[in-house]
Structure 1
């Protein structure tokens, strides 16, 4: 019984690299109202520290999601008691998940302006979570 020779990189066909896909234009960042945003954060599956930083950040926002006086990283460190590294990781997770908008995009968290934003579907998940807890409490009574 003979086996075929194993292919090597030399056996691979020569191909021209595919052109890079055009990058999608960034979505328009629209501020989210503070109360539904907080419900969406609490209903999300974010880590506890990330939710803690998010709620601490939301205390600086007005009702429409704008943060007039940006607390920056150092302010959130003082508000939460977490190390600066953990605050930065939490902010990065919130931006990646779509819960925060940064202006200018990709800037350092110590200097960027943040805005509360809602990712698609987050508000619906928060409503469903709120309805199930309300239904449970009414049936328990």
Structure 2
């Protein structure tokens, strides 16, 4: 009875394989309307500070998600009472998760113009959470 030789690290390639090219380019996120965006933020699993910064930022947005007067990091620090580092981390997380877009992607977060965007699936999760809350309220007896 013979067994096949088990692979060892010596059998692995010496260089990292090059990543495969994406077959389809990623879709450009469009600006999100303010009210569904806020519902998606509140239904998300983001930490409380991140949601607080997001809602403070959304107060500066118009109904279509464009922010005419950008509050910048220092404005959000004054509006929320959080430290500069906490606001920067919250903005970076919101950008990474797709809730915000900054047009020049390599620009510093302190002076960048932000646009509210909805990541895929966020609106559906917010709708399900809203329906679950409405169903729970309907099941409660009225006094």
Provide TM-score, normalisation by structure 2: 0.85
What is residue 54 of structure 1 aligned with on the other side? 54
Give runs of ≥4 in structure 1 deviating > 6 Å.
Answer: none
State how far apart, in whole Å, the 2-side matches of 1:134 and 1:110 are: 39
User: Does residue 120 in structure 1 map to residue 114 in structure 2?
Assistant: no
- The count of aligned residue pairs is 134
Secondary structure of 2:115's aligned partner:
strand
Secondary structure of 1:45's aligned partner:
coil
User: Does residue 29 in structure 1 map to residue 29 in structure 2?
Assistant: yes
Contact 2:53 2:87 in 1 (8 A): yes
State how far apart, in whole Å, the 1-side matches of 2:19 and 2:77 are: 40
Report how far residue 36 of structure 1 moved: 0.3
1:80-101, CA deviations, whole angstroms, 9 ceiling, x for partnerless residues? Answer: 0000000000001101110001
Report how far residue 138 of structure 1 moved: 1.1
1:89-119, CA deviations, whole angstroms, 9 ceiling, x for partnerless residues? Answer: 0001101110001111132111111000000
Where in structure 2 are the equivalents of 1:42-121 lying within 5 Å?
42-121=42-121
Secondary structure of 2:125's aligned partner:
helix
Structure 2: gaps of 5 or more residues: 1-6
Q: 1:139 to 1:76 in 2, by over 3 A?
A: same
Report how far residue 14 of structure 1 moved: 5.9
Contact 2:29 2:118 in 1 (8 A): no
CA RMSD between the two structures: 2.0
